[in-house]
Structure 1
Amino acid sequence: MIENNLQKPLTLEDLGKFTEEVLLPAVGTMIDQKLDEKLEKLESKLEEKLESKLEEKLESKLEEKLSPIWQELRSIRQDIKRLEEKMDRINKALNEDILVMNNEIENLKKRVVQLENQVRVLPSK
């Protein structure tokens, strides 16, 4: 039977049938594979571009939101530094006042001792 088919001339119907059953599915598969490869590459490039743009936007927005916070933080730090300096000056002044008072107390104690000694020397009646 195969020998009979080999001697039989090809018809348009045979070629059409072969094309539909063999060639078109094979070509379709090859096209699908090529399209899948290209789509994967395009998808990968698109994802990279989207991620890059998203990162840029996020960084920009984050910087925009954080900038005033950083400025306020710097201002607060400066205020704290000024307060610390003021407290240091006050503390120094207090220490100086205490030292002066201690000196005055010592002088007064010496004066009291002198006066007590003078009182003892006075003749009693």
Structure 2
Amino acid sequence: MELKGWSGAKRAARKSRKEMSPAEIRLWLELRKEPGGHYFRREHPAGPYRLDFYCAKAKLCIEIDGEAHGYGDRPARDAKRDAWLATQNVRTLRIPAREAMKNLDGVLLHILTTIAVKG
């Protein structure tokens, strides 16, 4: 089953591709090289959401979380979103933005290890 986005999510994803954060750009420059032979999409619409990065073959969503994800209602919203993705058989891997900036090699290794461990 292909993971498709609703029209609002498609519009938001299209706009977000032009407004990526520095951490997202840094990771994207590596993910677009298809590490480990895995193809990733950026700002992929999925239902009512948009995913920072998505590997359809591995059914893996990668989210780059800035500091705002730890405050207010964001943790609850993220949990709801992750639960919805789980109902679609998509795993979510959350990576702090500071890790993508400081330890990109470690982040890539973590992504590839997560893909290798299917479950």
More strand by share: 2
More helix by share: 1
Task: Flag the structure with larger Rg.
Answer: 1
Q: Which has the higher contact order (CA 8 A, sep 6+)?
A: 2
Q: Do Structure 1 and Structure 2 share a fold, with TM-score over 0.5?
A: no
- Give TM-score scaled by structure 1 length: 0.16
- Give TM-score scaled by structure 2 length: 0.16
